[in-house]
Amino acid sequence: MDKLVVEGGRRLEGEVDIAGSKNAVLPVLAAALLTRETLRVENAPRLADVESMLGVLRDLGCAVQGGEDEAIEVKAPEHPSQRTDWELVSRMRASFCVLGPLVARTGRAEVSLPGGCALGGFRPIDIHRKGLEALGASVRTEGGYVIAEAPPGGLRGAEMYLGTAFGSSVTGTANVMMAATLAEGRTVIQGAACEPEVVDLGRCLQAMGARIEGLGSPRVEIEGVSELGAVEWSVIPDRIEAGTYVIAGAMTGGRVRVRGCRPEHLVTVLERLREAQIPFEVGPDWIETQARDPRAAGEQPRPTDVTTHPFPGFPTDLQAQWMALMTMAEGRSVITERVYPERYMHMAELARLGADVRREGALALVSGTPRLSGAHVTASDLRASAALVLAGLVAEGETHVHRVYHIDRGYECIEERLRALGAGIRRERVERERVE
Ligand code: EPZ
């Protein structure tokens, strides 16, 4: 396994270009199963998760070309396999997005139940099941697999509500919306996810010939069609990657321009940065933090409370990074995680760096401290590992972030990009990883 060694105390300066969105490209790649034509993605990010999804699609019989620095092309066979490989799906929960397209295209799908993950607690799939059952599929769990079967005449459009106690379901909406594009008749999804990644998937499906209205609203209507066609698609920029680099600039007090992003996808985050009195400017496709000394009296971030919500609320995927920023604030902030109530695994690791953080039920209390100090820390999930790298950028001495395979899932070449901004960061192989 690898670790990232981060040298604290350097101000980041310069420009960073944002890659295509991980959480948009994964369901878009799964949509290739809906057609016998070629789906081409121009700007897929170079991520471990993209490779995992391509592995699942190959395993289902799809022809996959490109990747790394070039466009990706996926062409599903006339009769794709109907069963995913357990080991491949267990690597990445988002592989579950092949369920809807597979059952809509072939009438049956056997997809391994996604494992739990470090976001804390159980991550159910009841909404995926509810939506597919509303379309007439029979759905059962057997031997660790979810088996969905369309009725003899195929899926039929229906009205349904896909909200959960924690808001809408992003991949739940994606799975059901994809299945509904080939269902007979009209489908109305109430409580649909409004995330930009779901809108991007919907627009890609429209480009393939799907008839969808209401994208970006909680009510999405789909008129089924008999088949979908080829598409060449460029996914939206990754708003979470963009937000992560903006927070990195804010924490180190440097002038960092995050280019090729969509500021309108980060409205709530920018609002909180203003509340924290972090100076930055916004252009049509860029955000630039302004230089300042974040440690100087009066220049520290103001303590700013955050509660995570589905889009357009503050994104849960930036909660850990925000917590890292608030360890530098001149006072106490309250962070409330409403989407994944247990998504606080990063707190123990931030505390190892000297952060003054503690849980009070559903709340995380963060009191700013004058300085963090470098230590060995262990990443638990993709966004927590990003937060630990950010904290390492401002901690005294070196911070060793272990198990960085998490970070490689969602951040393209993070150490190269941070080094280009002036960070002292290197990747090292760890021969013998501490086993918990
Ligand atoms: C997507 O996961 C993202 N992943 C996550 O990003 C993101 O954190 C999450 O949405 C919330 O925005 C991808 O898009 C690949 P959900 P998803 O279904 O779709 C509950 C990252 O770091 N729920 O929207 O799996 C669930 O427990 C990852 O890039 C049900 O109750 O999340 C959670 O509390 C991490 N029943 C809430 O809904 C269900 O059937 C939101 O989950 C499904 C979900």
Atom of ligand 1 lying closest to residue 49 CA: 15
User: Which helix (H) or strand (E) element contains residue 59?
Assistant: helix 48-59
**Mutate which of 160, 339, 344, 381 for ligand 1 pocket (most atoms within 8 A of beta carbon):** 339
Ligand 1 pocket, residue 26 CB under 6 Å:
yes
Which residue is listed with tokens 């896909």?
A: 162
Please provide the DSSP assignment of 273-341 as one string.
HHHTT--EEE-SSEEEEPP--TTSTTTSPPP--EEB-STTSB-GGGHHHHHHHHTTSSSEEEEE-SSST
At 328 the pLDDT is 97
User: Cβ(130) to ligand 1 under 6 A?
Assistant: no
Q: What is the DSSP letter of 432?
A: S
pLDDT of 280 over the 80 cut:
yes
Task: Phi first, then psi: give them for residue 123, nearest 5 degrees.
Answer: -120, 95
Q: 235 or 144: whose pLDDT is higher?
A: 235
* First vs last C-alpha separation in the chain: 14
Judge if the beta carbon of residue 339 lies within 6 A of ligand 1. yes
Q: How far is the CA of 292 from the centre of ligand 1 (A)?
A: 36
CA distance 88 to 30: 14
| Known catalytic membership, residue 204 | no
What is the DSSP-derived secondary structure letter of residue 235? P
Q: What is the pLDDT of residue 87?
A: 86
Tell me the per-residue pLDDT of 195-232, one tens digit each, with 9 for 90 and over.
999 999 999 999 999 999 999 999 999 999 999 999 99
Structure tokens at 107: 């009438």
CA atoms of 99 and 184, how far apart (whole Å): 18
Quick one: how far is CA 378 from the chain centroid? 20
User: Which two tokens mark 239?
Assistant: 């708003």
Ligand 1 neighbourhood includes 161 CB (under 6 angstroms): no
Residue 343 CA to ligand 1 center (angstroms) comes to 12
Per-residue pLDDT tens over the stretch 159-194: 999 999 999 999 999 999 999 999 999 999 999 999
As a whole number of angstroms, the distance between CA 127 and CA 402 comes to 34
Q: What is the DSSP letter of 435?
A: P
Ligand 1 within 6 A of CB of 215: no
Nearest to 292 by CA among 305, 284, 302: 302
pLDDT at 434 over 60: no
Which segments of 8-144 are extended strands (E)?
A: 14-17, 38-41, 63-67, 70-75, 108-112, 138-142
190 within 8 A of 220, measured Cβ to Cβ: no
- State residue 296's pLDDT score: 87
What pLDDT sits at residue 6?
98
Predicted structure pTM score: 0.97
Q: Is the CB of 160 under 6 A from ligand 1?
A: no
60-81, pLDDT tens digit by residue?
999 999 877 789 999 999 999 9
Assess whether the C-beta atom of 318 lies below 6 angstroms from ligand 1: no
Distance of CA 411 from the midpoint of ligand 1 (Å): 18
Residue 219 vs residues 65, 100, 176, 194, 223: alpha-carbon distances, Å: 36, 19, 13, 9, 13
Check if 372 has its Cβ closer than 6 Å to any atom of ligand 1.
Answer: no
Which of 50, 117, 123 has most ligand 1 atoms within 8 Å of CB, for mutation? 123
Rounded to whole angstroms, the Cα distance separating 328 from 370 reads 7
Question: What angle is formed at CA 308 by the lines to CA 305 and CA 314, rounded to 5 degrees?
Answer: 85
Residue in this structure with the two tokens 């460029």, named with its chain if needed:
234
**Annotated active-site residue in 62, 97, 117, 194:** 117
**Ligand 1 lined by 231 (C-beta under 6 Å):** no
Instruction: Please tell me if the CB atom of residue 126 comes closer than 6 angstroms to any atom of ligand 1.
Output: yes
Q: Using only C-alpha atoms, what is the Rg of the chain?
A: 22
321 lines ligand 1 (CB under 6 A): no
Nearest to 93 by CA among 166, 167, 170: 170
85-141 pLDDT, tens digit each: 888 888 888 999 999 999 999 999 999 988 656 676 677 899 999 999 999 999 999
Residue in 50, 119, 164, 235 to alter for ligand 1 test, most ligand atoms within 8 A of Cβ:
164
Which single residue is written with the structure tokens 């090729």? 260
Residue with CA closest to ligand 1 atom 8: 317
- State pLDDT tens for residues 146-160: 999 999 999 999 999
171 lines ligand 1 (CB under 6 A): yes
Mutate to test the pocket of ligand 1, among 132, 169, 268, 383 (most ligand atoms within 8 A of CB): 169
Spatial CA neighbour of 194 closest among 227, 219, 230: 219
Q: How many Cα atoms occupy the beta-carbon half-sphere of 325 within 13 Å?
A: 30
- What is the reported pLDDT for 436? 46
- Structure-block tokens of residue 170: 């992003």
Tell me the pLDDT of the chain averaged across its residues: 95
Return the ligand 1 atom nearest residue 122 CA: 27
What is the average pLDDT across 386-391?
A: 98
Q: Which of 23, 56, 178, 189 to mutate to test the pocket of ligand 1 (most atoms within 8 A of CB)?
A: 23
Contact 50, 44 (CB under 8 A): yes
pLDDT in tens, 285-322: 999 999 999 888 889 999 999 999 999 999 999 999 99
Distance CA(306)–CA(5), nearest Å, equals: 29
Does an H or E element contain 223, and which? strand 219-223
CA-proximal residue: ligand 1, atom 16 (nearest)? 169
Atom 4 (ligand 1) nearest CA: 23
**Residue 428 pLDDT:** 95
Among protein residues, the one whose CA lies closest to atom 35 of ligand 1: 317
Q: At CA 208, angle to CA 263 and CA 214, rounded to 5?
A: 55
Tell how far the Cα of 369 is from the centroid of ligand 1, in angstroms.
Answer: 32
**pLDDT value at residue 431:** 79
> CB of 370 within 8 A of CB of 329?
no
Answer yes or no: is the C-beta of 86 below 6 A from any ligand 1 atom.
Answer: no
Q: Residues 181-197, buried b or exposed e (16+ Cβ, 10 A)?
A: bbbeeebbbebbbbbbb
Separation between Cα atoms, residue 347 and residue 330, nearest integer Å: 19
